[in-house]
Amino acid sequence: MNKIAKTRFAPSPTGFMHIGNLRSALYEYLIARSLGGKFILRIEDTDRERYVEGAVEVIYRTLDLCGLHHDEGPDIGGPHGPYTQSQRLTFYREYADRLLAEGKAYPCFCPAQGYESQEEDGEERAHFGYDHRCRDLDPDLAKERILKGESYVIRQKMPLDGQTSFIDQVYGTITVQNKELEDQILLKSDGYPTYNFANVIDDHLMEIT
């Protein structure tokens, strides 16, 4: 059974919509229409520090004036809503908890300032970045610190050896040594997801092709 083509325009309201955003929206719209599919609007507003008031309204108005009408979105709903990421935090938490339970993620209590110092002091390390100091914390101790209200993020627990391969539609098979991959943050201390984590979850749940 063939899947319906679904494209998405997913701007971040950290500034007002510009010509580059419109170009992306136009391509996604034309691809969906040419394949008889659906064009989805998703607002990716997880960067709360840089959120610009009024930016979302400009997105709606610009798309409407240009005739790029979406089939699903925050303003009209749809079967995979809500379509604003700040309203989807329970979804991201669910996936983070699943990774924690499977031992593929862990809570990290290192303050952001301390993390920067680790980078600055790590000149002798071949790879700059987080030094894994919370990676193997006792689970019961970590839970106790969380219950006490200590601030933390959730990091992905990447393999320390071996390699990871994936197929890129343009460049073919790409292989990366796992030792070069950082334990990236999935959920920030404010409970909001990082861009990569939220993006891949939403594309999956919204059946973006």
Classify domain 6-86 by CATH architecture: 3-Layer(aba) Sandwich (3.40)
Q: Where in the chain is the domain with CATH 3.90.800.10?
A: 89-190
Residue 21, both tokens? 């955003």
The DSSP call for residue 160 is S
pLDDT at 117: 47
pLDDT tens figures, 127-170: 557 889 999 999 999 999 999 999 999 999 999 999 999 999 89
With b for 16 or more beta-carbon neighbours within 10 A and e for fewer, the 63-95 pattern comes to beeeebebebbbeeebebeebbbeebbebbeeb
Split at pLDDT 50, 70, 90, the class of 1 is low
pLDDT tens figures, 47-87: 989 999 999 999 999 999 999 999 999 999 999 999 999 99
pLDDT at 124: 46
pLDDT tens figures, 89-101: 999 999 999 999 9
174, 168 contact by CB (below 8 A): yes
pLDDT at 130: 85
Ramachandran region, residue 96 (left: φ > 0; alpha: ψ -120 to 50; beta: rest): alpha
- Report the CATH number of the 89-190 domain: 3.90.800.10
Average pLDDT for the chain = 92
Residue 197, both tokens? 């984590």
pLDDT at 203: 98
Look at residue 176 and give its three-state secondary structure: strand
CA–CA separation, 107 vs 14, rounded Å? 28
Q: Where in the chain is the domain with CATH 3.40.50.620?
A: 6-86
52, 18 contact by CB (below 8 A): no
Split at pLDDT 50, 70, 90, the class of 111 is confident
For residue 205, give the H/E element and its range.
helix 195-205
CB atoms within 10 A of CB 122: 14
Residue 127, both tokens? 């790879």
The 3 state secondary structure assigned to 123-150 is CCCCCCCCCCCCCCCCHHHHHHHHHCCC
Burial group, residue 34, by CB count within 10 angstroms (0-12, 13-18, 19+): exposed
pLDDT at 151: 96
Split at pLDDT 50, 70, 90, the class of 113 is low
pLDDT at 128: 58
CA–CA separation, 10 vs 48, rounded Å? 16
pLDDT at 114: 53
Residue 93, both tokens? 């938490």
| CA distance to 18, 84, 119, 158, 164, per residue, from 41 (Å) | 16, 9, 38, 32, 32
Split at pLDDT 50, 70, 90, the class of 125 is very low
Least confident of 109-113, 137-141, 202-206: 109-113
Q: Tell whether the model's pLDDT for residue 119 goes beyond 60.
A: no
Q: What is the pTM of this model?
A: 0.86
